[in-house]
């Protein structure tokens, strides 16, 4: 159980210090992915560890050379700064200003922030000691009532963090202590708390109708304040010189969302932008590598992934032999080269090895993944053998719809189509707008065969695998189990994962077992894990870059070299 | 209408009424197309972040925006609100749509005007030059160049200009719209040039044809015979006789820029109306789509109306014909 005791979660009020929650070796953090461009949020819901730095809320300004202005291209931009948009890369945009109670540091360990102490006091209860003397940007003091209000906002389904908080029973304050009670054990609760922006209740109530719009913005306590905001386009932050943790070393941050990738590249090349925080894995990375004035940083970690989804209710996908045959037809190495220009790794299960090694010894990961790789190997002979045992031994026709915005997934389908043909499966590829594909895929579960790419919203290795395999997430009550997969054994393991604290080794065991079950039943077939890539002007460096930068206070990691 | 005695005013009044009918038809058409397109606004909004999507959220959105009401009810509600100058709020950003679009007009408006200025000056200048040098190398060269510009996709032209003038030479910015008059002008120069290049060909070709025709007119021959200077002939005879055709094409190019600006705005990352419309369509943000559609329709009919009125001002023959028609 994550508790104050073992995790040294206490710090002195006036001197924030880093106190790791030591989840890294114990927790299986889950988290999954997002369906492609739109799913970036999906996976964000589950989360796990990987983290940033941040010294317990302090920005570490003393140790870093000041930067007057940092201008970065970001992969997403919020529609509103109302504190309800998040659960994905948007957290990284909003929460550096509207800071949370606890933070994930550069190693993805939970550390105190606006809470000087946090503790899981029971299977469903958590306590947070609110830091004294913190002020909002307008000079009003932070109170426990603000914290209660900020958390309660997410009980509304309008919140994009609602999936974490649907099990919230009560949040209450006594003195300087805030207690969060859930209706059932939810091991991701602390990660969810690290996602919740703390807002001024007074300001929010006063501007409720238009909160988060360009003219109103929002009121927080973080090291950077909102200056100007153009929805879905740009956000300018200025340093909060009165920040309780010390003035931040970056005095101004300009975050811009650039639709056109060629323009973004030229902007970085010309020096107009100091960097691009998230470059899609693919040929574009090579173009950045050719620039002489930027450093390109890559990470295999980041809980990104792409996979096929089979509707297990519908023929012929209701036959496990068909699903296994399909899996044997995926030439992952070729797909990584063609779809990602080599900037990725073939996927054998849900979690990239680099992320898995945070919670399981490397040799165990290697052994486990070797077995998964063998089970799902690209092997047309085995595919034919599986098909021969199936209800459609002579092959069949299938159809898949891909979004016009997801070129990597489209290329993937084109390659797999060719190998499927060799075993008698005739695949037709259709293209549709992103919103249509998403609605048909998730809201209606209309596709018998689908392809999904995305990233976990929070750094929990269990996030995606639990989300898309949980029978509770089938229609009509849920949307994420697009395979409509139902397996009592898997559900039990998912319940165990949810009920077991992040730092309990039993959670990792349950996760591994769940991976085994889904590897056997194949409701989904893994394809690849794209690398996380960023580019930044040579005079800067992003220390410990990780694909889940947005789960941390990422500007703390950017230094002048 | 019958009380309007001035035949010109009657003609203009007729055109205004017709234009309003066109605007209403366009609104109805766009509204229908939005709902005929696959995908629903509530689902599209909900799955912007799939983690935030749930059946209850979709239902909440449907109720919040009245999306469960019959389509005629939704359309009439929209029209009723528009009459009261209430254009609603954006589904995505919760901003009032009217100020949201007006703010972006501060980018798109100058962009289009600047592009039109470039295209008109260059197009008319080259067109007149080519007409005076008909059949010569200059004529062929200008026509070829203009066609080449018109054939280049705006996206490619924009990236090329960015690469040369912003990256290699560093004389213009790569991104953004700038703040203040001078800064904005500086930021909009390359986008406006991109847009202008696409429109020059049409203006050049029409101007050339009109001037060639005017040059063959007896009055020009007579002017030359009287010893008038070529510039005097151009000013008093050639251009006045060509202006109806030139006005027509400039009006058409202006209308084309209303839609063409969207691609340019995306390429140069400008927060303009066109880029907003693309986002709104992708996310089925119906109030924003409808507001911009209304705006584009109004501007289009206004330009057409202005061109018609200019015909009357520029050409006495058109005035006479209009008066004769009105008197019948």
CB contact under 8 A, A479 and B95: no
By C-alpha distance, the chain A residue nearest B282 is: A435
Report, as an integer, the average pLDDT of A149-173: 93
Is the pLDDT reported for residue A51 higher than 80? Answer: no
Which of A22-36, A355-369, B224-238 bottoms out in mean pLDDT, i.e. has the lowest? A22-36
Report, as an integer, the average pLDDT of A434-438: 88
d(CA A53, CA A109): 9
Q: How many beta-carbon pairs below 8 A join chains A and B?
A: 154
- DSSP-derived letter for residue A273 is S
d(CA A518, CA B213): 78
Q: What is the mean pLDDT of chain A?
A: 88
- pLDDT of amino acid B52: 66
CB contact under 8 A, B94 and A212: yes
- pLDDT of amino acid A63: 59
User: For residue B159, which residues of chain A lie inside 8 Å, CB to CB?
Assistant: 262-263, 266
- pLDDT of amino acid A42: 38
User: Buried (b) or exposed (e) across B79-106, using 16+ Cβ within 10 A?
Assistant: eeeeeeeebbbbbbbbbbbbebbeebee
- pLDDT of amino acid B92: 86
Q: What is the distance in angstroms between the Cα of B173 and the nearest Cα belonging to chain A?
A: 7
Is the pLDDT reported for residue A44 higher than 60? Answer: no
CB contact under 8 A, A157 and B57: yes
First-residue to last-residue Cα distance in chain A? 40
CB contact under 8 A, A87 and B49: yes
Report, as an integer, the average pLDDT of A476-498: 95
The residue among A554, A548, A561 whose CA lies nearest residue A30 is A548
d(CA B103, CA B97): 10
Report, as an integer, the average pLDDT of A94-101: 96
User: For residue A42, which residues of chain B lie inside 8 Å, CB to CB?
Assistant: 49-51
CB contact under 8 A, A438 and B50: yes
Is the pLDDT reported for residue A273 higher than 80? Answer: yes
- pLDDT of amino acid A58: 52
Grade residue A150 by pLDDT with cuts at 50, 70 and 90. very high
Task: Give the residues across from B43 on adjacent strands.
Answer: none
The residue among B23, B39, B30 whose CA lies nearest residue B75 is B30
CB contact under 8 A, A260 and B53: no
User: For residue A157, which residues of chain B lie inside 8 Å, CB to CB?
Assistant: 54, 56-57, 60
Report, as an integer, the average pLDDT of A300-322: 96
User: For residue A261, which residues of chain B lie inside 8 Å, CB to CB?
Assistant: none
User: For residue A34, which residues of chain B lie inside 8 Å, CB to CB?
Assistant: 50-51
CB contact under 8 A, A266 and B279: no
For B283, which of A80, A234, A435 is closest by C-beta distance? A435
Report, as an integer, the average pLDDT of A417-432: 97
- pLDDT of amino acid A495: 96
- pLDDT of amino acid B64: 87
Which residue did the predictor score with more confidence, B95 or A481?
Answer: A481
For B39, which of A34, A87, A439 is closest by C-beta distance? A439
Which of A154-158, A409-413, A491-495 bottoms out in mean pLDDT, i.e. has the lowest? A154-158
Which of A145-149, A512-516, A549-553 bottoms out in mean pLDDT, i.e. has the lowest? A549-553
- pLDDT of amino acid A39: 40
Q: What is the distance in angstroms between the Cα of A288 and the nearest Cα belonging to chain B?
A: 14
CB contact under 8 A, B159 and A263: yes
How confident is the model over B64-75, as pLDDT tens digits?
888 889 989 998
Q: What is the distance in angstroms between the Cα of A380 and the nearest Cα belonging to chain B?
A: 35
Q: What is the distance in angstroms between the Cα of A489 and the nearest Cα belonging to chain B?
A: 24
User: For residue B43, which residues of chain A lie inside 8 Å, CB to CB?
Assistant: 435, 438-439, 443
Could you tell me where the beta strands, DSSP code E, fall in A433-549?
A: 449-455, 524-530, 532-537, 540-542
User: For residue A260, which residues of chain B lie inside 8 Å, CB to CB?
Assistant: 155, 266-267, 269
How confident is the model over B176-221, as pLDDT tens digits?
888 888 999 999 999 999 999 988 988 998 899 888 888 888 888 8
- pLDDT of amino acid A6: 32
- pLDDT of amino acid A261: 92
CB contact under 8 A, B52 and A161: yes
Locate A159 and state its tokens: 């919140």
Which of A329-338, A349-358, B31-40, B181-190 bottoms out in mean pLDDT, i.e. has the lowest? B31-40
Q: What is the distance in angstroms between the Cα of B283 and the nearest Cα belonging to chain A?
A: 7
Is the pLDDT reported for residue B327 higher than 90? Answer: no
d(CA A144, CA A115): 10
List Cα–Cα distances, A188 to A531, A557, B325, in angstroms.
25, 25, 78
Is the pLDDT reported for residue A2 higher than 50? Answer: no
| Residues A398, A368 contacting (CB under 8 angstroms) | no
- pLDDT of amino acid A392: 97
CB contact under 8 A, B55 and A476: yes
- Residue A312 phi/psi, 5° resolution? -70, 0
How confident is the model over A291-310, as pLDDT tens digits?
999 999 999 888 999 999 99
Grade residue A38 by pLDDT with cuts at 50, 70 and 90. very low
Q: What is the distance in angstroms between the Cα of B36 and the nearest Cα belonging to chain A?
A: 13
Grade residue A319 by pLDDT with cuts at 50, 70 and 90. very high
User: For residue A80, which residues of chain B lie inside 8 Å, CB to CB?
Assistant: 92-94
d(CA A546, CA A533): 8
CB contact under 8 A, B60 and A158: yes
- pLDDT of amino acid A213: 94
CB contact under 8 A, A258 and B175: yes
CB contact under 8 A, A157 and B60: yes
By C-alpha distance, the chain A residue nearest B89 is: A210
- pLDDT of amino acid A523: 98
Grade residue B222 by pLDDT with cuts at 50, 70 and 90. confident
Which of A157, A406, A444 is the best mutation test for B, with the most CBs of B within 10 A? A157
For B39, which of A43, A44, A433 is closest by C-beta distance? A433
**H or E element that contains A72:** strand A70-73
- pLDDT of amino acid B47: 72
User: Is ipTM > 0.85 here?
Assistant: no
For B51, which of A44, A269, A272 is closest by C-beta distance? A44
How confident is the model over A11-21, as pLDDT tens digits?
333 333 333 33
Is the pLDDT reported for residue A36 higher than 50? Answer: no
CB contact under 8 A, A273 and B175: yes
- CB burial class (10 A; 0-12, 13-18, 19+) of residue B135? exposed
By C-alpha distance, the chain B residue nearest A231 is: B93
Is the pLDDT reported for residue B128 higher than 60? Answer: yes
Q: What is the mean pLDDT of chain B?
A: 87
- CB burial class (10 A; 0-12, 13-18, 19+) of residue A334? middle
User: For residue B44, which residues of chain A lie inside 8 Å, CB to CB?
Assistant: 435, 438-439
- pLDDT of amino acid A28: 28
How confident is the model over A503-540, as pLDDT tens digits?
899 999 999 999 999 999 999 999 999 999 999 999 99
- pLDDT of amino acid A3: 40
- CB burial class (10 A; 0-12, 13-18, 19+) of residue A363? exposed
How confident is the model over A103-132, as pLDDT tens digits?
999 889 999 999 999 999 999 999 999 999
Report, as an integer, the average pLDDT of A215-237: 96
Is the pLDDT reported for residue A91 higher than 50? Answer: yes
Q: Tokens 């947005």 label which residue?
A: A550
d(CA B320, CA A315): 76
**H or E element that contains A276:** strand A275-279
- pLDDT of amino acid B288: 93
């Amino acid at each position: 159980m994550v508790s104050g005791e073992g995790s040294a979660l206490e710090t002195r009020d006036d001197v924030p210090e880093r106190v790791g929650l030591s989840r890294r070796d114990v927790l299986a953090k889950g988290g999954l992915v997002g369906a492609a461009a739109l799913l970036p949020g999906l996976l964000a819901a589950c989360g796990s560890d990987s983290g940033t730095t941040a010294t317990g809320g302090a920005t570490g300004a003393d140790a870093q050379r000041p930067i007057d202005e940092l201008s970065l291209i970001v992969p997403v931009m919020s529609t509103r700064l109302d504190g309800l948009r998040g659960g994905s890369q948007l957290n990284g945009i909003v929460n550096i200003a509207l800071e949370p109670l606890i933070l994930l540091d550069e190693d993805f360990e939970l550390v105190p922030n606006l809470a000087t102490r946090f503790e899981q006091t029971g299977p469903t209860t958590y306590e947070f000691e609110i830091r004294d003397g913190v002020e909002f940007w307008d000079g009003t003091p932070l109170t426990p009532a603000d914290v209660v209000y900020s958390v309660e906002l997410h009980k509304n389904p309008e919140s994009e963090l609602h999936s974490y908080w649907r099990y919230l029973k009560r949040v209450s304050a006594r003195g300087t202590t805030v207690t969060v009670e859930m209706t059932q054990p939810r091991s991701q609760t602390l990660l969810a708390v690290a996602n919740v922006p703390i807002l001024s209740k007074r300001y929010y109530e006063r501007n409720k109708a238009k909160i988060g719009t360009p003219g109103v913005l929002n009121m927080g306590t973080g090291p950077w304040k909102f200056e100007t905001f153009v929805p879905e386009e740009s956000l300018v932050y200025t340093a909060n010189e009165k920040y309780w943790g010390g003035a931040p070393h970056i005095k101004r941050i300009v975050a811009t969302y650039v639709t056109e990738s060629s323009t973004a590249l030229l902007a970085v090349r010309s020096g107009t932008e100091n960097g691009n925080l998230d470059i899609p894995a693919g040929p574009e990375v090579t173009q950045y590598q050719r620039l002489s004035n930027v450093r390109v940083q890559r990470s295999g970690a980041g809980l990104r992934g792409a996979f096929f989804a089979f509707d297990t209710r519908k023929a012929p996908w209701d036959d496990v032999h068909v699903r296994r045959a399909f899996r044997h037809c995926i030439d992952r190495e070729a797909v990584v080269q063609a779809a990602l220009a080599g900037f990725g790794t073939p996927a054998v299960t849900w979690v990239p090895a680099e992320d898995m090694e945070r919670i399981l010894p490397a040799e165990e990961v290697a052994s486990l993944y070797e077995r998964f790789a063998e089970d799902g190997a690209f092997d047309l002979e085995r595919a034919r053998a599986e098909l021969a045992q199936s209800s459609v031994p002579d092959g069949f026709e299938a159809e898949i719809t891909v979004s016009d915005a997801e070129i990597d997934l489209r290329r993937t389908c084109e390659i797999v189509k060719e190998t499927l043909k060799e075993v008698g499966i005739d695949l037709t590829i259709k293209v549709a707008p992103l919103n249509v594909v998403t609605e048909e895929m998730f809201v209606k579960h209309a596709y018998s065969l689908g392809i999904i790419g995305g990233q976990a919203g929070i750094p929990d290795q269990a996030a995606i695998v639990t989300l898309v395999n949980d029978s509770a997430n089938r229609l009509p009550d849920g949307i994420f189990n697009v395979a409509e997969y139902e397996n009592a054994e898997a559900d039990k393991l998912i319940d165990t994962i949810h009920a077991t604290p992040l730092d309990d080794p039993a959670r990792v065991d349950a996760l591994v077992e769940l991976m085994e079950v889904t590897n056997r039943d194949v409701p989904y077939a893994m394809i690849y894990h794209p690398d996380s890539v960023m580019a930044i002007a040579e005079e800067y460096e992003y220390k410990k870059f990780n694909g889940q930068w947005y789960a941390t206070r990422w500007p703390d990691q950017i230094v002048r070299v | 209408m019958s009380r309007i005695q001035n035949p010109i005013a009657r003609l203009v009044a007729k055109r205004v009424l017709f234009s309003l009918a066109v605007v209403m038809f366009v609104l109805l058409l766009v509204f229908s197309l939005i709902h005929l397109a696959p995908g629903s606004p509530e689902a599209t909004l909900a799955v912007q972040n799939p983690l935030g999507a749930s059946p209850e959220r979709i239902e909440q959105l449907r109720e919040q925006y009245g999306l469960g009401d019959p389509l005629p009810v939704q359309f009439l509600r929209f029209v009723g609100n528009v009459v009261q100058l209430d254009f609603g709020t954006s589904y995505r950003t919760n901003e009032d749509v009217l100020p949201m679009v007006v703010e972006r007009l501060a980018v798109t408006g100058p962009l289009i005007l600047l592009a039109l200025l470039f295209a008109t000056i260059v197009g008319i200048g080259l067109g007149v030059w080519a007409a005076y040098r008909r059949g010569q190398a200059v004529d062929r060269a200008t026509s070829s160049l203009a066609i080449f510009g018109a054939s280049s996709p705006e996206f490619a032209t924009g990236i090329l200009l960015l690469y040369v003038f912003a990256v290699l030479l560093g004389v213009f910015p790569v991104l953004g719209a700038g703040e203040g008059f001078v800064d904005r002008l500086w930021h909009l120069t390359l986008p406006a040039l991109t847009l202008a290049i696409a429109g020059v060909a049409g203006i050049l070709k029409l101007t050339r044809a009109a001037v060639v025709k005017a040059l063959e007119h007896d009055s020009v021959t007579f002017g030359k015979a009287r010893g008038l200077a070529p510039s005097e002939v151009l000013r008093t005879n050639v251009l006045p006789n060509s202006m109806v055709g030139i006005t027509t094409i400039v009006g058409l190019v202006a209308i084309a820029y209303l839609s063409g600006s969207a691609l340019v705005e995306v390429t140069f990352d400008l927060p303009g109306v066109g880029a907003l419309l693309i986002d709104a369509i992708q996310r089925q943000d119906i109030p924003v789509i409808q507001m911009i559609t209304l705006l584009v329709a109004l501007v289009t009919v206004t330009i057409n109306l202005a061109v018609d009125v200019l015909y009357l001002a520029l050409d006495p023959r058109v005035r006479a014909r209009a008066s004769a028609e009105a008197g019948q």
